[in-house]
Amino acid sequence: MIKYSAIAASLLLAAPLVADAAPEAGDGSVSIFGTGASDKNFDGNNFGVAGEIGYYGSDQLLYGIRQSVSGSAGDDVSDAWNGATRLFADYHFGSGPALPYVGANIGAIYGDGVKNTGSAGLEAGVKYYVLDKTFINFGVEYAFLFDDGDDIDNSFDDGAFFYNLGVGFNF
C-alpha cells in the first residue's frame, strides 16, 4: 500500500510540471543542434552545428533566424565547409511535454562545397520538454533551391534535406 501511495503522490507532484511545459506568447527561445544535410538522392552528406534564436508571437507561433555551419566529406563530395542562414516560422500544436510543429523557412545556402543559392522550404519536427523551459528538438526540413525568381519553377528538382537534433531553452 505504501508503494502505491508513493507512486500516486509522485504523479500528483509531477502533474504541474507537465502542464506548464509549454511556451507562452512573449517567450524567447534559443537552441543549439547537431545537424546534417543531404542532397535529394542522399549521395552527398554534410554534418555540422547550428543555432537558432526565436520569439513566440503567440503560444503556438515561433519565428526567428537559424544559422548552420557544416563540413562535407566522403566519396561523392569534396572536403569543404558550407553554411546556411534561414528565417523561419513554426506553428506548434498539441499539449503536454511533446509538441509537434510544422513550418516554413526562407534563406540562403553558401560555402566552398555548394553553389551559393537561395532556398525556401517546409519543415516539421517535435520538441520534447524535459523541464518547464528546456526541450529536446528533432526536426527535418526540405529546402527548394533557386538562383533567382525565374528559377523557382525548376526548384522542385533541385533541393536538399536538412535534419537536426539538439537542445533548446525558452526564456
* Average pLDDT value for residue range 92-118: 92
| Domain that includes residue 59, residue range | 2-170
* Average pLDDT value for residue range 3-29: 65
| The total number of structural domains that make up the chain | 1
Task: Look at residue 10 and tell me whether its pLDDT is greater than 70.
Answer: no
Distance CA 165, CA 163 (A): 7
Task: Look at residue 72 and tell me whether its pLDDT is greater than 90.
Answer: no
* Average pLDDT value for residue range 72-88: 79
- For residue 23, the model assigns a pLDDT of 92
**Residue 102: CATH number of its domain:** 2.40.160.20
Of 26, 168, 15, 18, residue with least CA distance to 95: 18
In whole numbers, what is the pLDDT of the chain averaged over residues? 83
* Average pLDDT value for residue range 24-38: 92
- For residue 169, the model assigns a pLDDT of 98
Please return the burial class of 66, using the count of CB atoms within 10 Å of its CB with bins 0-12, 13-18 and 19+.
buried
Distances (CA, A) of 106 to 42, 162, 170: 22, 13, 23
Distance CA 116, CA 114 (A): 6
Q: How confident is the model at residue 155 (pLDDT cuts 50, 70, 90)?
A: very low
* Average pLDDT value for residue range 57-65: 98
Task: Look at residue 55 and tell me whether its pLDDT is greater than 60.
Answer: yes
- For residue 153, the model assigns a pLDDT of 47
Phi and psi of 52, rounded to 5°?
Answer: -145, 150
- For residue 73, the model assigns a pLDDT of 62
* Average pLDDT value for residue range 47-54: 96
What percent of the chain has a predicted confidence (pLDDT) above 90?
53
CA geometry: angle at 107 spanning 159 and 163, to 5°? 55
Please return the burial class of 15, using the count of CB atoms within 10 Å of its CB with bins 0-12, 13-18 and 19+.
exposed
- For residue 145, the model assigns a pLDDT of 87
* Average pLDDT value for residue range 11-22: 54
Task: Look at residue 167 and tell me whether its pLDDT is greater than 90.
Answer: yes
